[in-house]
Amino acid sequence: MTLPARFYTDPDHFRTEIEHFFFSAIRPCILPPTMASSSSGRAERRHVRNPVMSPAPPMTLDEYLRTPETVLPQELVYGVLRVADAPTPRHQTVAADFYVALRAHVRARRLGRLWLAPVDVILDPPGALVVQPDLIFVSNARLRLVTDRVWGPPDLVLEVLSPNPRVGKLDERLGWFAQYGARECWLVRQREREVEVVSFAQGRIERRVTFAAQAPLQSDVLPDFAESFDSIVEDSEI
């Protein structure tokens, strides 16, 4: 190709023509999608939004029940899986001591059955709400709820606070227990060495009574149980 004579005699004009050709014809072909050339010949960056990642779909109850078994605390809260760290030895000591005391009381009177966590309590199958309280008591009248899981509200649930539940928040848990028909919840505060008995009726909290370390507990679910925190848990254990 023969170039016009002016390219040899006018270097500035030659440079201008080459730059124009580069920015108008070549540069747009090699720039990434976010770049384009301006009318002045300089590359400009266009604002391109990053694609928004859609949230993961809620986990169904069937998917939760097919997850591998684990001893770690895990719950399904309206389709959202929550997993917590393993409980501490102190926490487990208190939970086990209450289990031993309550089991002796329940077995002697043939009142029902008790279980320690982790046991799935399915409060709302369509809504995918599954909890694992530290300890549950199911009376004879409700034992029909117990098959491979506990398909409904226990009569009594017990939570050892350190100072919070192992999974989730206390207020929301109490709300679920009330809404879905549990009769009572014992909140064991190991640091303060006290037990708060929360009674439910008609889907709401009816009464809350706190019992100090040496005060015998009073329960509507287990009216003959008269142990205290101190008689159940020894000082040396926690």
102 part of a folded domain:
yes
154 part of a folded domain:
yes
- Tell me, yes or no, whether 131 and 218 share the same domain: yes
pLDDT value at 50 more than 60? no
Q: How confident is the model at residue 84 (pLDDT cuts 50, 70, 90)?
A: confident
50 part of a folded domain:
no
54 part of a folded domain:
no
- Tell me, yes or no, whether 190 and 84 share the same domain: yes
- Tell me, yes or no, whether 188 and 120 share the same domain: yes
Q: What is the pLDDT of residues 104-163, one digit of tens each?
A: 999 999 999 999 999 999 999 999 999 999 999 999 999 999 999 999 999 999 999 977
pLDDT value, residue 17: 54
53 part of a folded domain:
no
- Tell me, yes or no, whether 114 and 221 share the same domain: yes
- Tell me, yes or no, whether 40 and 65 share the same domain: no
State the average pLDDT for the chain.
Answer: 83
- Tell me, yes or no, whether 88 and 149 share the same domain: yes
- Tell me, yes or no, whether 79 and 196 share the same domain: yes
- Tell me, yes or no, whether 145 and 97 share the same domain: yes
**What's the whole-number mean pLDDT along residues 52-65?**
84
For residue 174, the one-letter residue type is L
- Say how many domains are in the chain: 2
* Domain encompassing residue 13: 5-45
80 part of a folded domain:
yes
56 part of a folded domain:
no
- Tell me, yes or no, whether 181 and 117 share the same domain: yes
- Tell me, yes or no, whether 29 and 92 share the same domain: no
Residue 153's Cβ-count burial label (10 Å; 0-12, 13-18, 19+) is: buried
pLDDT value at 12 more than 80? no
Return the bridge partners of 237, or none: none
- Asked if 64 and 81 touch (Cβ cutoff 8 Å), the reply is yes
- Compute the distance between CA of residue 197 and CA of residue 186 in angstroms, rounded to an integer: 5
Q: What is the CATH number of the domain that holds 165?
A: 3.90.1570.10
